[in-house]
Amino acid sequence: MRALLQRVNHSQVQVNGQLIAAIDLGMLILLGIGQEDTPEKTTALAKKIAQLRIFEDVQGKMNLSLLDVRGAAIVVSQFTLYADTRKGNRPSFVSAAAPDFARSLVDKFTEELSGFGIPVQTGEFGAHMLVDLENDGPVTIWLEV
């Protein structure tokens, strides 16, 4: 399971010209599910993200978590995080999980993150989405469990 976290001042997701998710202060979480991932990994990743101290305190140090700042999250499923570009010029996605399995783990991850009291919105699984964000910092963190 791979997640690319972006600390944002605001973010939104559109599908077919319709706004489906929008937050202010928080995180945009691009989430990739691999073939070997398990429901237990969703729990560990959600806990790590909820408690990860990437927001600045009054001294400007990254000392506060998403919970501390009462931020929100948008979770966007992103199978392309499993791109393998070692051969040729076209990425291979053979390590990405099958759609039905991936959808179930994305849903579980979203539930787990919500369980920490974080307001969570989502993109639309499998849809072509337009994701807009203002990355604060910029702060972008790669996590893999």
pLDDT per position as a tens digit, 23-35: 999 999 999 999 9
79 is catalytic: yes
Percent pLDDT > 70 in the chain is 100
* pTM of the predicted model as reported, rounded to 2 decimal places: 0.96
Active-site residue identified among 79, 109, 121, 122: 79
Active-site residue, 80 included: yes
Other CB atoms within 10 Å distance of the CB of residue 54:
20
CB atoms inside a 10 Å sphere around CB 117: 10
- Arithmetic mean of pLDDT, 100-124: 98
Q: What is the mean pLDDT of the chain?
A: 97
Q: Which CATH superfamily is domain 2-136 in?
A: D-tyrosyl-tRNA(Tyr) deacylase (3.50.80.10)
What confidence category does residue 124 fall into, taking pLDDT thresholds of 50, 70 and 90?
very high
